[in-house]
Every structure is written in C-alpha cells, then in structure tokens.
Amino acid sequence: MTKEERAAYHKEYRNLHKAEFAAYAKKYYKKHRAELNAYHKDYYKSNQAEVIAYAKKYYKKHKAELNAYNKDYYKSNKAEAAAYHKEYYNKHKEELNACKKDYYKENRAEVIARRKDYKRLNPEKVKAHGILNQAVKKGEIIKQPCSICGKLKAEAHHPDYSEPLNVIWLCRSHHFTLHAEMKG
C-alpha cells in the first residue's frame, strides 16, 4: 500500500467512525483535562514565537472562512457572546486599559493620523459632534438615560447629522447594536 493510499484509507476510516472518535476524544479530554492544559501551557511558553507565527499564517490562509464562521456564530449566539465579552471586560478591565495606553504610547503617530483621516473623511459628523458637545457643556441640552433600557451612562446617536441637536440617547451596547443593524 502506498503512502497516498494509506492516507486515503485512514481518512475514509476516520470519516466512517467520526462520532466514535469524537466521543472518545471528549471522554479522554474530560479525564485528562488538567494535564493536557498544563502541557499546552508549557508548550506555548517554550514555543511562543512559533505558535504565534503558525497562528498568524493559519489565519491569513483561512481568513475568509474564519470570519464567516465568527459572524454566523455571533449572529446565532448574540446574548451569550455579549455576556461573555461583558464578563471578560469587567474581569480584565485594568489590564485592557493598560494595553490601550501602551498601544497609544507605541503608536501615537498612527493613532493621530487615523483621527485626522476620520475628521477629513467625515466633516459633517465631526461638526455635529462638536455642536452637540458645546450644547451639553453650556447646559442647552441635558444628557438623558438610554431610551431603550434606561441606563444612566448614555451616548448621543445622530439619526441625521444635518440636525446636530436632534439625537437619541442610547447606552453603549444599544448604540453599537443600532449601528450594526444599520450596516446590515
């Protein structure tokens, strides 16, 4: 039997017994979870550069299918994903904020350039934000709670940037959801 024939045979065999292999793998993982996790942790620590390089290479090669899978997953598990991200953020808030600060320090010129590009590409939005911020500072407009859930910490959403003082007050999550729905 040639190497190719053997590989084809094993592939066919695995496909025929897929459920059995999956059940065995699950059972094995449950039984040996701690030692497997320790092994993977040690392996990652000692081969971090290689692992990261492989992951980047894999992501580059499979970017479209990974993005499609993630999009489908988040669409079908919105509440679960949102809860996970919220929990993760709350658990790692200080660490994430430190990373943001470090990123800004290391990439200050790039961040400033991106902000300038945004201002150049979106003058109407920038003008509307500025007018609204001035009105809030002067007390002409009072910040409101989220119009959907009632959270006190809310942001202004402009349905129409040509009317800068006509806004809907939304919490961060509802504002994000609204923009995601608008994008389609």
Does the pTM surpass 0.85? The reply is no
Mark out the alpha helices in the chain (DSSP H runs): 3-16, 18-46, 48-61, 63-76, 78-91, 93-106, 108-121, 123-138, 172-183
| Averaged pLDDT in 10-residue chunks for the chain of 184 residues | 88 87 88 91 93 93 93 88 90 95 96 96 96 95 94 94 95 90 80
Note the pLDDT tens digit of each residue in 17-50.
Answer: 888 888 888 899 899 999 999 999 999 999 999 9
Q: How far apart are CA 154 and CA 136, in angstroms?
A: 13
By residue count, the chain amounts to 184
Token look-up 């692992």 returns 51
pLDDT computed for residue 184 by the predictor: 67
Q: How far apart are CA 88 and CA 94, in angstroms?
A: 11
Note the pLDDT tens digit of each residue in 138-155.
Answer: 999 999 999 999 999 999
